[in-house]
Chains A and B, each alone.
Chain A
Amino acid sequence: MGSEGKLSVPNHPIIPFIEGDGIGPEIWAVAQKVFDTAVEKAYNGTRKIEWKEMLAGEKAFKLTGEWLPAETLQVAKDHLVSIKGPLTTPTGGGIRSLNVAMRQDLDLFACVRPVKWFREFLLPWCIPKMWI
């Protein structure tokens, strides 16, 4: 983070990712290939993201016994910008939602959602009656 509130981004930034639970790993694998291809094409190979896995959710629990290891939060802070797949909210015993925990610990005060129509996206009210 620069002095004027602008990010200074190197050509090979390390970006941490959480692949997520359930369908997370398979959609992440596809997405990562898409990102790498786009970056390579856009900048003729001069830029490249160095992906770094962070543990959270079921995978983290199996490997470390913790749903959201302190190290993950530290890595997210060290590298400023990260991306995650969907995470299970652990049930029972006072464990808070992992999504909420990350938002609180990093004080991520703005939840930003762009909403735009892509042509040919399916509109729920166009679904034929027989399907309802």
Chain B
Amino acid sequence: MVQGVPSPVVHPENVDMIIFRENTEDIYAGIEWKAGTAEAQKFEKFLMEEMGVKNIRFPGDSSYGVKPVSSTGSKRLVRAAIKHALEHDLPSVTLVHKGNIMKFTEGGFKTWGYEVARQEFGDKTFTWDEWDQLKKEHGEAHANEVQRKALHDGKLLVKDMIADNFLQQILIAPKDFSVVATLNLNGDYISDALAAEVGGIGIAPGGNINYNTGYAVFEATHGTAPKFAGTNSMNPSSVILSGCMLLEYIGWKEAADLITSALQAAIMRKRVTIDFYNLMTGATLLKTTEFGDEIISDIGVFTGDAQLKKSSSL
């Protein structure tokens, strides 16, 4: 860190993304064996003797984990992300992966993601996969021209980015990203990094959804904070915003919008719970219940222009 170097994170208002994290496979499948166990030894022996693996750096005391990533799992996730982008008229879907290193798992996610885009949404999307092909066949200028025209015609851009580069770009150029589709572990890091970027740790909402069956569980993303149980002091925003996601999911967007406007208004007035109070100057400290009442008193009163006017006068 060099003093005086300007921080690139000066425009949090440019962060407006929605992360679709694959939730059922990847290394979260829990297939792993601890170093020194008979299972680890057996697995290592299988790798070396039957699979011809020669590049285990320290055989004998390595632990092992298996990372299953499937075509079915990747495609249903990317399909959901693309559908969301199309339904909400969003500009792009970015597939975030580490396919340069893990060619068949993370690289497979990218390949399968592009396949879904081209095979199932070919008339509504333009992919970087197509761009590569066009460049190869007709040159870069032509590829750029086709992309420009496709986006001008309102097609959804489906692109991809290597995970480490993506984590830099969300700080430097957050405007370039809208819907993000990624694997389980990457999604874990990315969700938390982005929540931190907008100061939203502790209030971030989340939903776990099966878009085929319709099953959905929306949830507060923070922990149980048992030390503070019964103190009526904690911030209820995570579960409230998760409820807004639920309301939108069932098509009751009007109700969700009333809540987000009212929550925004309470924050603008700096009438907040202890977590925000501690970091703001000139704030008023509210209990959990008082913060709830603050939101409730604003619901349906200050919306749209009226709310902005009120906010800016403070």
Contact = CB atoms under 8 A, between A and B. Distances in A.
A83 B198 contact: no
Given A23-B231, A81-B214, A113-B204, 14 more contacts: A5-B214, A7-B251, A20-B224, A26-B232, A37-B300, A41-B299, A84-B220, A106-B215, A108-B209, A108-B210, A110-B23, A110-B208, A117-B12, A123-B9
A120 B267 contact: yes
Interface residues of B, number: 96
B20 A83 contact: no
B210 to A, nearest CB: 5
Contacts, number: 287
A110 B80 contact: yes
Interface in B40-91: 73, 76-77, 80-81
A128 to B, nearest CB: 9
B296 A109 contact: no
B213 A107 contact: yes
Interface in B102-140: none
Contacts of B20: 110-112
A62 interface: no
B210 A111 contact: no
Contacts of B223: 22, 86
A121 to B, nearest CB: 4
B226 interface: yes
Interface string A58-73: 0000000000000000
Interface of A: 1, 5, 7, 9, 13, 15, 20-24, 26-31, 33-35, 37-39, 41-43, 47, 76-77, 80-88, 99, 102-104, 106-127
Contacts of A108: 23-24, 208-210, 215-217
B246 A112 contact: no
